[in-house]
């Protein structure tokens, strides 16, 4: 079959219309004319296979990694970085239009990242004597000769210790680096744990604070975007000057520390024990006593005394109960960091129905060479937004 690629969908495949059917074809660029076959249905969507590019896009480039196509880590390497970013902006805009009911006219401003050596954390898979990354849509482990997304120190560590890790029957190997130091933890599916580095954590400077985290913690994926993400938040806080703030889904305290530096009282909510332990250690290390830590499920929507709320949920986004609780409380401003444009658009619609307006929106390209991205947004109560 022959068709033209209308756009790139979430997941990185191109959208091709075949009569009544929409077919998702990986490995293509928006605007290209391609020959493809229909391979079947996956989760109710028709999956295509690229046979030939008949009219290539000028944005098509040779993939920089020899494992591209086999390794499941990247799915946009066949596009220029600019085209990757345009595709992500189009995905975000499309979701806002379809799910939230409206989208900004212009593409959202972009916080771009260098495409290489940018990842803070690697999660290698180990199975059957191999250590590497999962193949696309599979649990087969692809043995890679390196990964251009990783800092050199993580890549060298991986290559040096791969034989030792591969001796494990089956499990994960997590390596966290700040670009110089690293912490490395091998965990078998049978519960066996082995540290492969002398250090169990690495530290990052967040303003005047030291933020210490390990491979078991949540850490934003892109080393180059850590300081800019904090700056986005502190820009809002310094403009709004809230006395009280809440950090929901706070992890090990990445946003809690800058909030604590600027607000009289902060409440931090997190449910994962490893993140809670590191959060508490980070507060103690930095002698911060005015943060109340709640080990709780934030989705339950407990009432919060906070003029400004930061929410940074996993891909599933927020719950109706949480949005209602934030709307019923004193929050004038919600800073919403999201890693999923569909659930973000769904939640934005809920906020808008409860009197909030979208005041600021940015796309943070934390994941060059893959279709993932982060969203930064500021939502304000309607009656306050035009003052
Ligand atoms: C996207 S991470 C953000 C972490 C932190 N804001 C950061 O930037 O490092 C989401 C965090 O929410 C936590 N989490 C997931 N579900 C939760 C829930 N229902 N209630 C509270 N925390 C949750 C996870 O453990 C994780 O630390």
Mean pLDDT computed over 246-273: 98
Q: Are residues 191 and 163 in the same domain?
A: yes
Q: For position 40, what pLDDT does the model report?
A: 87
What pLDDT sits at residue 357?
96
Does one domain contain both 297 and 359?
A: yes
Residue 48 sits in a domain of what CATH number? 2.40.50.140
Indicate whether residue 272 lines ligand 1 (CB < 6 A). yes
Confidence tier at 19 by pLDDT (50, 70, 90): confident
Which of 203, 236, 254 delimits the end of a domain? 203
The yes-or-no verdict on residue 94 having pLDDT over 60 is: yes
Q: Do 195 and 281 fall within a single domain?
A: no
Note whether residue 95 is domain-resident: no
- Do 190 and 172 share a domain, yes or no? yes
Are 207 and 229 contacting, i.e. CB atoms less than 8 angstroms apart? no
Residue 39 in 3-state DSSP? strand
Confidence of residue 41 (pLDDT cuts 50, 70, 90): confident
Domain check: are 319 and 175 in the same one? no
Residue 76 lies in a domain: no
Higher pLDDT, 103 or 97: 97
Is 379 contained in some domain?
Answer: yes
**CB-based contacts of 374: which residues, under 8 Å, 6+ apart?**
220, 225, 229, 337, 338, 339, 363, 364, 366
CA-closest residue to ligand 1 atom 6: 250
Residue 169's alpha-carbon distances to 136, 172, 187, 190, 243, in angstroms, are 21, 10, 10, 9, 52
Nearest by Cα to 284 from 249, 248, 253? 253
Mean pLDDT value across residues 108-120: 96
In total, how many domains does the chain have? 3
pLDDT attached to residue 386:
53
Residue 85 lies in a domain: no
Q: How many helices (H) and strands (E) does the chain have?
A: 8, 21
Q: Which residues contact 341 (CB under 8 A, 6 or more apart)?
A: 10, 91, 92, 95, 96, 373, 375
Instruction: Report the share of the chain in percent with pLDDT over 90.
Output: 93
Work out the mean pLDDT of the chain and round it to a whole number: 96
Least confident of 104-113, 142-151, 248-257, 378-387: 378-387
Q: What is the reported pLDDT for 14?
A: 97
- Supply the range of the domain harboring residue 22: 2-60
Of all protein residues, the one whose alpha carbon is nearest to atom 11 of ligand 1 is 249
State yes or no: pLDDT of 2 exceeds 60.
Answer: yes
Same-domain pairing of 246 and 191: no
Is residue 98 classed exposed, middle or buried when 0-12, 13-18 and 19+ CB atoms within 10 A define those classes? exposed
Q: Which residue's CA is the closest to the ligand 1 atom numbered 25? A: 272
Residue 18 has pLDDT above 90, yes or no: no
Query: Tokens 């220029």 belong to which residue?
Result: 80
CA of 229, closest atom in ligand 1? 8
Whether residue 118 is predicted with pLDDT greater than 70 in this model: the reply is yes
- Answer yes or no: is 66 within a domain: no
User: Could you say which DSSP state residue 90 is in?
Assistant: H
The pLDDT value given to residue 44: 79
Domain shared by 255 and 307, yes or no: yes
Portion of the chain with pLDDT greater than 70, in percent: 99
Please determine, for residue 24, whether its predicted confidence score (pLDDT) is greater than 90. Answer: yes
Q: Is 297 in the pocket of ligand 1 (CB under 6 A)?
A: yes
pLDDT at 43: 78
The C-alpha atoms of residue 224 and residue 255 are separated, in whole angstroms, by: 16
Say whether both 189 and 247 belong to one domain. Answer: no
Predicted confidence band at 292 (pLDDT cuts at 50, 70, 90)?
very high
Answer yes or no: is 90 within a domain: no
Task: Mark which of 150, 178, 203 sits at the end of a domain.
Answer: 203
Q: Would you place residue 384 in the very low, low, confident or very high pLDDT band (cuts 50, 70, 90)?
A: low
Query: What DSSP line would sit under 249-290, residue for residue?
Result: T-TTTTTHHHHHTT-SEEEEEE--HHHHHHHHHHHHHTT--S
- 272 CA to centre of own chain: 18
CATH number of the domain at 324, please: 3.40.50.150
Average pLDDT score over residue span 347-357: 97
Helix (H, G, I), strand (E, B) or coil at 11: coil
Tell me the pLDDT band of 383, cut-offs 50, 70 and 90. confident
| pLDDT score of 387 more than 80 | no
Neighbours of 185 (CB within 10 A): 18
Q: If you average pLDDT over residues 304-320, what whole number do you get?
A: 97
DSSP states of 296-359 = S-GGG------SEEEE---TT---HHHHHHHHHSS-SEEEEEES-HHHHHHHHHHHHHTTEEEE
**Do 223 and 360 reside in the same domain of the chain?**
yes
**Does residue 21 fall inside a structural domain?**
yes
**Cα-based angle 86, 120, 77 (whole degrees, multiple of 5):** 35
- Domain C-terminal end among 140, 173, 203: 203
Residue 296 lies in a domain: yes
User: Could you tell which of 269, 271, 277, 319 is best to mutate to test the pocket of ligand 1, judged by most ligand atoms within 8 Å of the CB?
Assistant: 271
**What's the pLDDT at 137?**
83
Residue nearest to atom 8 of ligand 1 (CA): 254
Residue 331 and residue 234 share a domain: yes
Q: Ligand 1 centroid vs 237 CA: distance in angstroms? A: 21
237 and 381 inside one domain: yes
Q: Whose CA is nearest to atom 27 of ligand 1?
A: 251
Kindly state whether residues 284 and 332 are assigned to the same domain. yes
């Amino acid at each position: 079959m022959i068709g033209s690629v209308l756009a790139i969908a979430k997941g990185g495949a191109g959208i091709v219309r075949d009569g009544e059917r929409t077919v998702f074809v990986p490995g293509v660029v928006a605007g290209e004319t391609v020959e493809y076959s229909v391979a079947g249905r996956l989760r109710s969507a028709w999956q295509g296979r690229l046979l030939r590019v008949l009219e290539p896009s000028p944005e098509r480039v040779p993939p920089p990694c020899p494992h591209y196509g086999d390794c499941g880590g990247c799915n946009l390497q066949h596009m220029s970085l600019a085209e990757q970013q345009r595709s992500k902006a189009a995905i975000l805009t499309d979701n806002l239009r379809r799910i939230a009911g409206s989208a900004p006219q212009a593409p959202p401003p972009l916080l771009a990242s260098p495409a290489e050596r940018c990842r803070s954390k690697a999660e290698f898979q180990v199975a059957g004597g191999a250590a590497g990354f999962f193949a696309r849509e599979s649990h087969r482990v692809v043995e890679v000769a390196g990964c251009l997304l990783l800092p050199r120190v993580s890549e060298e560590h991986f290559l040096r210790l791969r034989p030792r890790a591969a001796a494990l029957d089956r499990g994960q190997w997590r390596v966290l680096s700040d670009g110089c130091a690293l912490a490395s933890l091998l965990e078998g599916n049978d519960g066996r744990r082995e540290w492969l580095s002398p250090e169990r954590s690495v530290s990052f400077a967040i303003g005047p604070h030291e933020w210490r985290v390990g491979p078991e913690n949540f850490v934003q994926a892109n080393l180059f975007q850590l300081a800019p993400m904090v700056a986005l938040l502190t820009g809002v806080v310094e403009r709004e000057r809230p006395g009280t703030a809440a950090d929901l889904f706070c992890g090990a305290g990445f946003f809690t520390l800058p909030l604590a530096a600027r607000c009289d009282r902060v409440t931090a909510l997190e449910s994962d024990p490893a993140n809670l332990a590191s959060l508490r250690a980070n507060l103690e290390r930095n002698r911060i006593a005015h943060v109340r830590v709640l080990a709780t499920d934030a989705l339950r929507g407990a009432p919060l005394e906070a003029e400004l709320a930061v929410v940074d949920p996993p891909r599933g986004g927020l719950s109706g109960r949480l949005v209602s609780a934030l709307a019923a409380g004193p929050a004038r401003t919600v800073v919403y960091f999201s890693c999923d444009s569909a659930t973000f658009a769904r939640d934005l619609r809920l906020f808008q129905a409860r009197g909030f307006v979208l005041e600021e929106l940015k796309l943070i390209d934390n994941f060059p060479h893959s279709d993932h991205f982060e969203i930064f947004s500021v939502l304000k109560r309607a009656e306050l937004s035009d003052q």
